[in-house]
Amino acid sequence: MKLVAVSAGLSQPSSTRLLADRLVQATRARLEEPAAGAPVEARVIELRDLAGDIANALVTGFPNTRLREAVDAVTGADGLVAVTPVFTASYSGLFKSFVDVLDPDALAGVPVLVAATGGTARHSLVLEHAMRPLFAYLRAVVVPTAVYAASEDWGGGGDAFTEGLAERVGRAGAELAGLMTGQAATRRRPAGPGDDVEAVVPFEEQLAALRP
Amino acid sequence: MQFGIFSVGDVTTDPTTGRTPSERERIKAMVTIALKAEEVGLDVFATGEHHNPPFVPSSPTTMLGYIAARTERLILSTATTLITTNDPVKIAEDYAMLQHLADGRVDLILGRGNTGPVYPWFGQDIRQGIPLAIENYALLHKLWREDVVDWEGRFRTPLQGFTATPRPLDGVPPFVWHGSIRSPEIAEQAAYYGDGFFANNIFWPKEHFIRLITLYRQRYAHYGHGTPEQAIVGLGGQVFMRKNSQDAVREFRPYFDNAPVYGHGPSLEDFMAETPLTVGSPQQVIDRTLTFREHFGDYQRQLFLMDHAGLPLKTVLEQLDILGEEVVPVLRREFAKNRPAGVPDAPTHAARTSEPSAA
């Protein structure tokens, strides 16, 4: 079972990457429980390493070999963890530019866990008003728990109103693992270079559709 | 196999001098380039069709008719004829007329153009792009093959007892290639009619075009026109050459870096690795072009883009000298080697006239 995380963190070390790692770990732990028992192939893609390639893809209209490999990994995943830092009231431009390179159909039906990091918890609804609609447009299946980690969350537990970061990470990971094991068998994959040529509408049908 | 050049007809500032040619200069330069193509032994000159600045070739048959009068051997083609927005009746007549004037040295690459706004300029609706390409070509195909046509379709007024004039030369319509960079529907259309498929592969990685061409070849066989290997395939290419490859790279880099389509993006080296662009020695161009056959199968027509991005006319003519003298003769020899017996030659009017079934 393929689990892929995309991290749009920029600094090194990056708390965005750290959150991605934690979410992957939580999902993997649930997937590998004896009851589920699926071997997991997990991978984290750092968009920072692909920043130039992503900009070039916007200019040329196609991803180069290195970026293609990352795109194929993301669109071929059985489950996706998407983590961005909050920049100016939304996901970062680098994160969105990467999503712009994906085929609009490529994530249809794919379970996705969305997460974000920021300096203050006041930005946490970015997950609900920016990240979730983005993946809704792509017809991905976004898990109910979206995980926001403000700087203070890394040091503290929960409060009277919500659980701590560790609990939320665990819950979100379990939700993603549940969706992945529930649907993996029926998932439709996008066609790739190794597949047969694409399906086509027979020409007689195209002609017939135009007859007055 | 046929070798030639195709031009977009862009008016682009030369980034090394800051000079922009006038429209008149660019139009005349395209003609000079076409004449040079014949002089250096190339087979085909093809011009794009555009209706917006910075492009000049809005009226291909005017330009090709003028070139026809000044050449003997060169096949005159379009690199795109907008099958979506041109009236098929006008295409039928314009290109039949050109066929007579050029003694049959005419073919067309049909396409849907590179800009959405062109549709309303000619009274059409871009949302109908593919249906327009399908219906208009069905009518064009009929107008060239039936002397008296009754027609009713969705996108234009009906025709009753209409005869397009002049009739195609010797009763053989111009050969048609269908050009596409992304739509499988167009590969399917080309296969259905047994026409050629031209994949302008110069801006995208080869994997994408392998899928399109494989589809076209399979569907060509499906419709009973021959084996997949007998389908008629044309490819683009983009090269810049100097005797020493370092000189070629040094001279071409500012044009690449500022080119309208891919400029200000990837490095020249990265773009060469990802697309067919080859900047280097004539031998490098030969080696790279010969790999196309491995990816796409034996094919019929190779067109190179030589005159864009603001390259001065003098440079383009030097490039054509190198192409004609050092590259194409070797490519002809090498492509002929191990070419399976069943693979057809590129279509010409003479060959198609002697085989009525091919019409």
Q: At A198, which CATH number?
A: 3.40.50.360
Residues 52-71 of A with CB under 8 A from B: 55-56, 58-62, 64-65, 68
Q: In terms of Cα–Cα distance, which of B284, B297, B298 is closest to B330?
A: B284
Q: In terms of Cα–Cα distance, which of B18, B21, B1, B17 is closest to B307?
A: B21
With the CA atoms of B95, B97, B99 and B102 taken in that order, what torsion angle do they form, in degrees rounded to the nearest 10?
-120
Split at pLDDT 50, 70, 90, the class of A195 is low
Chain A residue with minimum CA distance to B128:
A210
Split at pLDDT 50, 70, 90, the class of A184 is very low
Give every residue of chain B whose pLDDT is below 70, as ranges: 114, 356-359
Chain A residue with minimum CA distance to B192:
A203
User: What's the confidence (pLDDT) of residue A44?
Assistant: 97
- What value, to the nearest 5°, has the Cα angle with vertex B63 and ends B58 and B66? 160
User: What's the confidence (pLDDT) of residue B359?
Assistant: 43
Residues in chain A with CB shorter than 8 Å from the CB of B223 are: 203
Under 8 Å CB-to-CB from B150, ≥6 apart: which residues? B158, B159, B160, B161, B162
Sign of CA dihedral B265, B267, B273, B275: positive
Other Cβ atoms within 10 Å of B88 Cβ, number: 25
A203 to B188: CB separation less than 8 angstroms, yes or no? yes
Q: In terms of Cα–Cα distance, which of B137, B130, B150, B153 is closest to B195?
A: B137
Structure tokens at A136: 């809704």
- Name which residue leads in pLDDT, A151 or A135: A135
Give the HSE-up count for residue B299: Cα atoms under 13 Å, Cβ half-sphere: 28
DSSP secondary structure letter of residue A18: H
DSSP secondary structure letter of residue B55: B
From residue A148, give the alpha-carbon distance in Å to each of A89, A134, B305. 14, 16, 51
- Name which residue leads in pLDDT, A188 or A165: A165
Split at pLDDT 50, 70, 90, the class of A130 is very high
Q: Which domain holds residue B18?
A: 2-358
User: What's the confidence (pLDDT) of residue B219?
Assistant: 97
User: What's the confidence (pLDDT) of residue A194?
Assistant: 59
Split at pLDDT 50, 70, 90, the class of A187 is very low
Identify the burial level of B289 via C-beta atoms within 10 angstroms of its C-beta, where 0-12 means exposed, 13-18 middle and 19 or more buried: buried
Chain A residue with minimum CA distance to B139:
A207
A160 touches chain B (CB under 8 A): no
Count of domains observed in chain B: 1
Structure tokens at B97: 């007329």
Split at pLDDT 50, 70, 90, the class of A161 is confident
Q: State how far the Cα of A180 lies from the Cα of A174, in Å rounded to an integer.
A: 10
Residues of B at the A interface, defined by Cβ within 8 angstroms = 130-131, 134-135, 138, 152-154, 184-185, 187-189, 191-192, 203-205, 207-208, 210-211, 214-215, 218-219, 223, 261-266, 270-271, 273-274
Count of domains observed in chain A: 1
- pTM exceeding 0.95: no
Min distance A83 CA to chain B CA atoms (Å): 26
Give the CATH number, domain containing residue B131: 3.20.20.30
Structure tokens at A49: 């390493």
Q: Which domain holds residue A56?
A: 2-208
Sign of CA dihedral B277, B283, B289, B293: negative
User: What's the confidence (pLDDT) of residue A186?
Assistant: 39
Task: Please list the alpha-helical segments (H only) found in A47-92.
Answer: 51-60, 65-75
The phi, psi pair for B208, rounded to 5°, reads -60, -45
ipTM above 0.85, yes or no: no
- Percent of residues in chain B assigned helix, strand, coil, to nearest 5: 45, 15, 35
